[in-house]
């Protein structure tokens, strides 16, 4: 019934999208909508949304299909078949925001203590101590490290330059790794070139799977650091500055985490906490 319209829509997509995967996904979603013979109006879109809910699709999947449908209705507007895009007028399912994963203190200790390689230990210690993004870590040079004042010169998103503190413990491992080296990239690969963020991800994943049996990323250490600082009483505004968030909203997610209280005894005896 809609064969000619579908073919024309496919040509519309060909003229605007280069990704075959994207075009195929749009076509599949639109064909699914058309197969139900719903009207090209708000009621039709809502009925389609109801069908998707009954199928048990996640909010994320439903929103993706509605996004495809929105492109289709923009095409119909251009042809004069509809006056408005009804997808923009319907209520869409709210997606649950996934809270960031973090490591408990004992897991963090287990991970760090499993690392015997000097470079890798210095890398993980510094990543946790500073809460840096992996892109920020790999772009560091030796000259960016101020050992006297225990701080790093970090290039943040948008070209901002900030000084970020690090703990004595991380500094000691870093000095041991550098062995007097004064210039060049801070962390090197085996070819003495700047280490890549991809390699850092592999390093962390390997040690985590081998020690605490978890598949984590560099960002997990960033979330871990933020969580531990917040648990220790750091003000949210200070945490925002520490993490380099441009908006407090990005930092507020940590206040919604279901955290276990760190015991006073553990705080007093834990070597990493004492060094910070």
Catalytic residue, candidates 157, 160, 198, 256: 157
Least confident of 74-78, 147-151, 162-166, 232-236: 232-236
Mean pLDDT over residues 156-174, rounded? 90
What per-residue confidence (pLDDT) applies to 256?
57
pLDDT over threshold 90, residue 16? no
96 located within any domain = no
Rounded to whole angstroms, how far apart are CA atoms 108 and 131?
A: 13
Query: Under a CB-based contact definition with an 8 Å cutoff, are residues 107 and 118 in contact?
Result: no
SS3 string of the chain? CCHHHHHHHHHHHHCCCCCHHHHHHHHHHHHHHHHCCCCCCHHHHHHHHHHHHHCCCCHHHHHHHHHHHHHHHHHHHHHCCCCCCHHHCCCCCCCCCCCCCCCCHHHHHHHHHCCCCHHHHHHHHHHHHHCCCHHHHHCCEHHHEECCCCEEEEECHHHCEEEEECCHHHHHHHHHHHCCCCCCECCECCCCCECCHHHHHHHHHHHHHHHCCCCCCHHHHHHHHHHHHHHCCCCHHHHHHHHCCCCHHHHHHHHHCCCCCCCHHHHHHCHHHHHC
What per-residue confidence (pLDDT) applies to 262?
35
Residues 201 and 261 reside in one and the same domain: yes
Residues 112 and 225 reside in one and the same domain: yes
Rounded to whole angstroms, how far apart are CA atoms 178 and 208?
A: 24
Of 88, 122, 145, the domain-final residue: 88
95 located within any domain = no
Residues 72 and 113 reside in one and the same domain: no
Mean pLDDT score of the chain: 86
Query: Under a CB-based contact definition with an 8 Å cutoff, are residues 85 and 181 in contact?
Result: no
Longest dimension (CA), the chain: 75
Residues 50 and 164 reside in one and the same domain: no
Question: What is the pTM assigned to this prediction?
Answer: 0.59
236 located within any domain = yes
| Domain boundaries, position 248 | 105-275
233 located within any domain = yes
Residues 6+ apart with CB under 8 A from 127: 134, 137, 200, 204, 218, 221, 222
Rounded to whole angstroms, how far apart are CA atoms 103 and 109?
A: 9
What per-residue confidence (pLDDT) applies to 249?
72
Least confident of 75-84, 108-117, 172-181, 225-234: 225-234
What per-residue confidence (pLDDT) applies to 17?
78
Residues 238 and 131 reside in one and the same domain: yes
Catalytic residue, candidates 169, 222, 228, 270: 222
CA-based torsion, 220, 221, 222, 225: positive or negative: positive
Residues 9 and 84 reside in one and the same domain: yes
Selected residue with higher pLDDT from 31 and 233? 31
State pLDDT tens for residues 51-98.
998 888 888 889 889 989 999 999 999 999 999 999 988 888 876 655
Residues 6+ apart with CB under 8 A from 245: 251
Residues 169 and 262 reside in one and the same domain: yes
User: Per this entry, what is the length of the chain?
Assistant: 276
What per-residue confidence (pLDDT) applies to 197?
94
Calculate helix-pair angle for 42-54, 59-79, nearest 10 degrees. 150
Active site annotation includes 223: no
Catalytic residue, candidates 12, 173, 207, 254: 254
Residues 42 and 124 reside in one and the same domain: no
93 located within any domain = no
Residues 58 and 118 reside in one and the same domain: no
Active site annotation includes 245: yes
Q: How far is CA 69 from CA 5, 79, 124, in A?
A: 14, 15, 45
Selected residue with higher pLDDT from 274 and 90? 90
Query: Under a CB-based contact definition with an 8 Å cutoff, are residues 203 and 187 in contact?
Result: no
pLDDT over threshold 70, residue 261? no
Mean pLDDT over residues 39-50, rounded? 91
Least confident of 11-20, 73-82, 265-274: 265-274
Active site annotation includes 198: no
The count of other CB atoms within 10 Å of the CB of residue 185 is 16
Rounded to whole angstroms, how far apart are CA atoms 268 and 70?
A: 56
Residues 217 and 255 reside in one and the same domain: yes
State pLDDT tens for residues 204-259.
999 999 999 999 999 999 999 988 888 888 888 888 888 888 777 777 776 655 33
36 located within any domain = yes
100 located within any domain = no
Residues 65 and 110 reside in one and the same domain: no
Assign residue 159 the CATH number of its domain: 1.10.443.10
94 located within any domain = no
Of 38, 54, 88, the domain-final residue: 88
What per-residue confidence (pLDDT) applies to 268?
42
Catalytic residue, candidates 133, 169, 225, 270: 133
Rounded to whole angstroms, how far apart are CA atoms 167 and 259?
A: 23
Mean pLDDT over residues 30-44, rounded? 92
| Tally of structural domains, the chain | 2
Residues 84 and 7 reside in one and the same domain: yes
Active site annotation includes 157: yes
Active site annotation includes 133: yes
- Neighbouring-strand partners of residue 145: 152
């Amino acid at each position: 019934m809609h064969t000619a319209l579908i073919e024309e829509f496919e040509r519309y997509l060909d003229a605007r999208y280069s990704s075959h995967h994207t075009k195929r996904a749009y076509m599949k979603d639109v064909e699914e909508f058309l197969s139900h013979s719903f009207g090209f109006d708000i009621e039709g879109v809502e009925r389609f949304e109801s069908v998707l809910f009954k199928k048990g699709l996640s909010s994320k999947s439903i929103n993706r299909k509605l996004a495809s449908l929105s492109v289709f209705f923009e095409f119909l507007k251009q042809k004069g078949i509809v006056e408005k895009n009804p997808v923009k007028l319907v209520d869409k399912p709210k997606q649950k925001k996934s809270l960031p994963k973090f490591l408990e203190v004992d897991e963090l200790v287990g991970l760090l203590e499993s690392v015997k390689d000097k470079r890798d230990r210095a890398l993980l210690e510094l990543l946790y101590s500073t809460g840096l993004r992996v892109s920020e870590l790999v772009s560091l040079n030796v000259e960016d490290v101020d050992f006297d004042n225990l701080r790093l010169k970090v290039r943040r998103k948008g070209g901002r330059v900030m000084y970020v503190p690090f703990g004595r413990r991380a500094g000691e491992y870093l000095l041991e790794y550098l062995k007097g080296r004064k210039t060049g990239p801070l962390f090197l690969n085996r070819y003495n070139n700047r280490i890549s963020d991809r390699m850092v991800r592999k390093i962390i994943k390997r040690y985590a799977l081998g020690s605490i049996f978890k598949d984590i990323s560099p960002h997990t250490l960033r979330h871990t650091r933020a969580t531990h600082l917040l648990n220790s009483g750091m003000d949210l505004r200070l945490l925002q500055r520490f993490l380099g968030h441009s908006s407090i909203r990005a930092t507020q997610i940590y206040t919604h985490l279901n955290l276990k209280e760190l015991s006073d005894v553990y705080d007093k005896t834990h070597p990493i906490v004492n060094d910070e």
